[in-house]
Amino acid sequence: MRWPTREMWNIIEVESNAGTHKMITKLLKVSFVIVAVGFLFAPYGLAMPNDDDFSVLSRLGYFAPAPLELELSSDGKTLYNAGFPVVYVAHPDSSHEPVRIPAPFYLLTAPESATATFSITYVPNGGTDLWGEPCYTFPSEGQTPFNAAASIWGNIIQSAVPITIRACWADLGSSSILGYSGGGPLRRDFSSAPRPLTWYSGSLTNALAGSDLDPSYFDMHITYNLNFSWYYGTDGLTPAGQYDLMSVVLHEIAHGLNFSGSMSYSAGSGSWGYGTGYPNIYDTFMRDGSGNQLIDTGVYPNPSTAIGTALTSNNIWFHGSNAMAANGGVRVKMYAPSTWAGGSSYSHLDYTTFNDTENELMVYAFSSGESVHDPGPVTEGLLKDLGWHKKVDFDFDGDRKSDILWQYATDGTVAIWLMNGVAIASGGSPGVVSDPNWEIKGVGDFDGDRKSDILWQYATDGSVAIWLMNGVAIASGGSPGVVSDLDWEIMN
């Protein structure tokens, strides 16, 4: 097992604000404190990730980093080195027909429209990644697609706290692993945590808390394999035989946003919670084919062979309401092959179901010649279920292009222009609200169908109403309730 060393690294840091790049050279001292296992872990019974988790990948000629020692804070609420490395695999079938999925128009908007920013630190030649893998100079031309991928995420999620990434360019000695990510801190029971006794990734924790709770630690560590022929363009026109770096970065950042959980597997037995007894928020949505939660210890003792069997059953499903709404109202199948593949199993969408679809980005393997610059509705819905707040656009028809909402002041007629750039693709009126006491308070995607809906409130008695929209038509509507105390104001 290779360990990070205490050393001084000269770092080139690139801050990406949806396409605006600022180069800052500085000296950064990164200290990794390794505490004796008997002293630190015995009181909490922390379980180490098993090398068996990575044995299948090794037998297939894959490379995956050795798991790190888990490090728990004195109050038991912060866990370091716990984000298991998740790998992205090059598709072994060169005859596979590549797909090209461009980024939607609204994801490539001006920097000032971004709702999250990324601070990317490129490890210089001679440094190492978190797992001790030597890093080489990150190619300058590779930083362009990296920042473009960060820009796409910056126009999807919301965070007032810059999301920090430490990126390494390494010789992984593998022709199968495109890259891997993990290693960020996890927190539970912070002041704004939506669910108690549950671990959240550092990036999601900070977004929910509104401040950086671990400023000395990166939110995610991502390593890329220099042994591939990489395409550094951002136009999606990846030549045959090359791998689109922008797509791979987009994929690995998603894992750093908490698209992974705590399940571990060894010799037929499965477990969760990193040995702490607390699940990752990702784990809480996972169910078997019968609808049983994998973290329900009444059905699946932790640890147990029952969990191990479920993890290799090809029958695991994500049951978040937003992900399901984006999946046609049905549960989302996850990757759970009959042979556990550490770094791939459980942390990806099912390959057979989602490959070659608009949701392809988060399957476990990626083909040369492809480009996928859109996370896809299921992945966006899944992240929303985990707790990420999404950027809200006036997009009433779900084409990822902002539309224009109007209301006539005299008679209350509501109208919508469905836009295509500067042109009106179509338009219409969903109805007339003649009572001026009804006021439009904002828009939001209340049913998770990726189409903006209209939020109303009655000025005198506080009644709230929602129009669920499908283009310019009202699909359905209703009132969630009345807030008669008008000191309560809707924050949109």
Backbone angles phi, psi at 249, to 5 degrees: -65, -45
Q: Quote the pTM value.
A: 0.76
Confidence of residue 171 (pLDDT cuts 50, 70, 90): very high
**Quick one: DSSP state of residue 430?**
E
Report the pLDDT value the prediction gives residue 67, as an integer from 0 to 100. Answer: 75
Residue 401's CB is within 10 A of a number of other CB atoms, namely 18
Residues 6+ apart with CB under 8 A from 244: 145, 230, 231, 233, 236, 238, 370, 371, 372
Pairing outcome for strands 404-407 and 413-420? antiparallel
Alpha-helical runs (H) found in 281-436: 305-311, 321-326, 351-354, 377-386
Q: Which amino acid is at 387?
A: G
- Res 37 pLDDT > 80: no
| pLDDT of 252 | 98
Weakest-pLDDT range from 14-23, 277-286, 364-373: 14-23
Residue 49 reports pLDDT greater than 80? no
Q: What is the pLDDT of residues 450-470, one digit of tens each?
A: 689 999 999 999 999 999 999
Question: Residue 373: CB partners within 8 Å, gap ≥ 6?
Answer: 101, 102, 103, 107, 149, 152, 236, 246, 247, 250
Q: How far apart are the C-alpha atoms of 282 and 259, rounded to whole Å?
A: 7
Task: Choose the weakest-confidence range: 16-30, 53-67, 197-211.
Answer: 16-30
Averaged pLDDT for residues 130-142: 97
Six-digit token string for 351: 């390959």
What is the C-alpha separation between 93 and 211, in angstroms, rounded?
45
Q: pLDDT band at residue 109, thresholds of 50, 70 and 90? A: low
The 8 Å CB, 24+ separation contacts for 109-112 are 109/18, 109/155, 110/18, 110/19, 111/17, 111/18, 111/19, 111/20, 111/151
Instruction: Determine contact, residues 207/160, Cβ cutoff 8 Å.
Output: yes
The closest of 90, 406, 45, 59 to 244, measured between CA atoms, is 90
How many residues in total does the chain contain? Answer: 492
Q: What percent of the chain has pLDDT over 70?
A: 84
Place of tokens 């028809």: 397
**What does the block give as tokens for 23?**
């180069």
Among 60-64, 272-276, 340-344, 486-490, the least confident range: 60-64
Q: Taking Cα atoms as reference points, which of 271, 281, 60, 264 lies closest to residue 190?
A: 281
| Most distant pair of Cα atoms in the chain: their distance | 75
Q: What is the DSSP letter of 159?
A: -
Work out the pLDDT band at 287, boundaries 50, 70, 90. very high
Instruction: Quickly list H helices, 282-397.
Output: 305-311, 321-326, 351-354, 377-386
**Statement: residue 369 has pLDDT above 90:** yes
